Amino acid sequence: MELSLDKIAEFVAGELEGEAAKRICDVAPFEHATADEITFAGAPKFIKRIEETSAGAIIVPLHVQAPGKNVIRVKNPHVSFTKVMGLFHPPDRPRPAVSAHARIGDNFVHGVDAAIAPGVVIGKNVVIGDRVILHPNVVLGDAVVLGDEVVIYPNVTVRERCRIGSRVIIHAGSVIGSDGFGFAFDGDVYHKIPHIGIVQIDDDVEIGAGNTVDRATFGKTWIKKGVKTDNLVHVGHNVVVGENTLLVAQVGISGSVTIGKHAILAGQAGVAEHLSIGDHAIVGPQAGVGRSVAAGEIVSGAPEMPHQRWLRVQSIVPRLPELKKHLADLERRLSRIEKGSAQE
């Protein structure tokens, strides 16, 4: 595939300076791009090195000047380059068909151009939209609803009555709608609490591989529009995750937590039950959150604390052996002084 620079600039609504008719055949990283490839320079460390790249064209911020180079100036080079990558490398799409080796229950309704692979199991009263792709061994429980252009990768289970919006991607091995971890203790044994709610996943969500999203006890566990999760994320029952929030690898969220929009929970962060994380809050990696976090707050550590305080604490930790020795020395000196005063 080849595209001229003026067509690429038009596609990303950018300002082109250079050879409009120049043909570009692929995308490449800054250090390895060749004369027929396009790259991007968004960070200052790359902008300073624009003269070093052999790329046929560079996508740059609006303020960048690069005489002698073919550049496309845009507001956000990273986003624009991502879109251009999609032009040259569109996702593979299987041929629309319902495999004879799928097992499909009664009253199944699907939209146009569905691609249902061998080994798929679909329960009763399931409804899916247009251009849905179900890869091998996907299981959809009874009364599941999927929107348009949903892609579900192999070995995913979406249990009964869960609802998935449009343009949702669910990666391999994830389970949507598993029972929440809820038991009533009578002093001797634990009695399982029925979880009769659902999971609702709104439009434009991407769920990583090996995720588990538990169904609600009552009502719904709710993943709102635009949320992106990394691999091995656990979302407990009745959790609400706000729009465009990021959950990074191995995040664990206990039941009945509410997370605002545009929040970020970094890798291996854990949140205790019944707490709230505000809009635009950031929870650092391996943080253990035992209190609610206000909107815009940045916390780190276990137990969590304001990030700047955590940085100060971490700077002290390597010195603890030295400080302990110094403190013991001070205690011995103080003890000698006190003994001398007592003898007087």
Q: Which of 313, 285, 308 is nearest to 297 (CA)?
A: 308
The token pair at 106 is 């009664």
Respond yes or no: is residue 274 known to be catalytic: no
- Candidate list 237, 262, 280, 326, residue with the active-site label: 237
Count of alpha carbons within 13 angstroms of residue 171, beta-carbon side: 13
List own/partner pairs for 270-274 with CB under 8 A and 24 or more apart.
270/302, 273/236
Helix (H) or strand (E) holding 40: strand 37-40
DSSP string, 197-213: -EEEE-TT-EE-TT-EE
Residues 6+ positions from 96 with CB-CB distance below 8 Å: 112, 113, 114, 115, 131
Render the burial of 130-153: b for 16+ CB within 10 Å, e for the rest.
Answer: ebbbbbbbbbbbebbbbbbbbbbb
Question: How many angstroms separate the CA atoms of 223 and 340, rounded?
Answer: 69
Residue 198 β-bridge partners: 220
The single residue listed with the structure tokens 């044994």 is: 189
Residue 306: Cβ-neighbour burial (10 angstroms; 0-12, 13-18, 19+): middle
d(C-alpha 268, C-alpha 335), whole Å: 46
Angle subtended at Cα 284 by Cα 279 and Cα 202, rounded to the nearest 5 degrees:
45
Supply 120's token pair: 């798929």
CA dist 118 and 113 (Å) reads 16
Q: Which residues are catalytic?
A: 237
